Amino acid sequence: MTLITRLSLPIALLALAACSNNNNDENSLFEVRPALELSYTTAPIDLSGIAAEYAEDVRYGEAERNVFDIYLPDCDDPTPLVIYIHGGGFTGGDKSAGHSNADGVREFLQNCVAFATINYTLLTVPSPAEGVSSIVEQGGVLPSLEDTARALQFMRYHFSSLNIDPENVAAYGASAGAGASLWLGTHDDLADPDNEDPVLRESTRLKAAGALATQSTYDLIRWEQVLLPITKSLEGVLGGTDIPTVAQAVGATNYLLTFLGVDSIDAIYTPENEAYRANVDMLGMMDAGDAPIYVHNFKTGFDDLLNLFLHHGLHALAVKERADEVGLESVAYIEEPAYALEDPSGESLNSFLLRHIK
């Protein structure tokens, strides 16, 4: 599809809106929306002859890292969309990771599915010497998660310019990106119909969520129960099994505080932070009406305790067990020997996502 064609779609929708006598709610897809002008460039992967266009650093918000790259297959009908969210512990990483699985990107494009990879705001964790004065103003992990929601809303808002089907959107990622995908998939719709910003009126709901090397919840205090089988075995080394004690043992106290947006351990247990943690608790928010989940956690080792606590198969097990409890479809794989699990379907991530959006 040429640039001229993409720009002509919003114009056609304006004409439809002008001719319609329906009310505002019924006209939500036909409201006046500015055309999204895209500058296409050479894709960073070999497209192997697939007819598709590529745009990079498309801005979806005002923050420095509010940008995404997108592959748009040349298809006649509006295409489903898959959004990739990079990992990095919410302190690092980049959308360029989304291009690393070139075969996966090509598979989506061959199936007339658009593929986007996004950046989002990162946290800055102060060193122990720097103290905690800079922590609270960052707002914890929630602004990062809200960026991922806005990126989704922005693409939905510009569905006609992008030739995407706004009803069929999935997200997946690795590590932090996995957790962010679960957060989008389990959170109630963040659409604000009365917001002055039309982008924020769009839905944040997904048709499917994929999580690789995921965390189970971003209420980190809840990890005490999730990880208890391994922290209990290490209690003598760690000094306890509660999360503040575990964090101190692995040198991650300031990370814990920064993640939850507080400047002291005591502040974690206030009613205000309990409400904050509930808003980032994917296990607590999950219900039968949420996006079906694909989860796959890999083997970890005791030589890197922080990595073990962040990516252990127990996180994937908690997601799977919670999905089963609430009646939500899930496909789960765990490579941790003591908790090994393989979905009998043998379904791959891409097949799972395509099944739910095509």
Domain borders along the chain are 1-35, 38-46+54-357
Q: In this structure, are residues 358 and 113 in contact, taking their beta carbons and an 8 Å threshold?
A: yes
- Residue-wise pLDDT tens digits, 160-195: 999 999 999 999 999 999 999 999 999 999 999 999
Residues 290, 284 contacting (CB under 8 angstroms): no
What kind of fold does domain 38-46+54-357 have according to CATH?
Answer: Rossmann fold (3.40.50)
Per DSSP, which regions of the chain are E strands? 52-59, 67-73, 79-85, 114-118, 164-174, 208-212, 293-297, 330-334, 341-342
Which pLDDT band holds residue 30 (cuts at 50, 70, 90)? low
Percent of the chain with pLDDT over 70: 91
Separation between Cα atoms, residue 277 and residue 127, nearest integer Å: 23
Over residues 44-63, mean pLDDT: 98
Q: Has residue 26 got a pLDDT over 80?
A: no
pLDDT of residue 111: 98
What is the SS3 assignment for 262?
A: coil
What pTM was estimated for this model as a whole? 0.92
- In this predicted structure, the answer to whether residue 109 has a pLDDT above a threshold of 60 is yes
Q: What is the DSSP letter of 80?
A: E
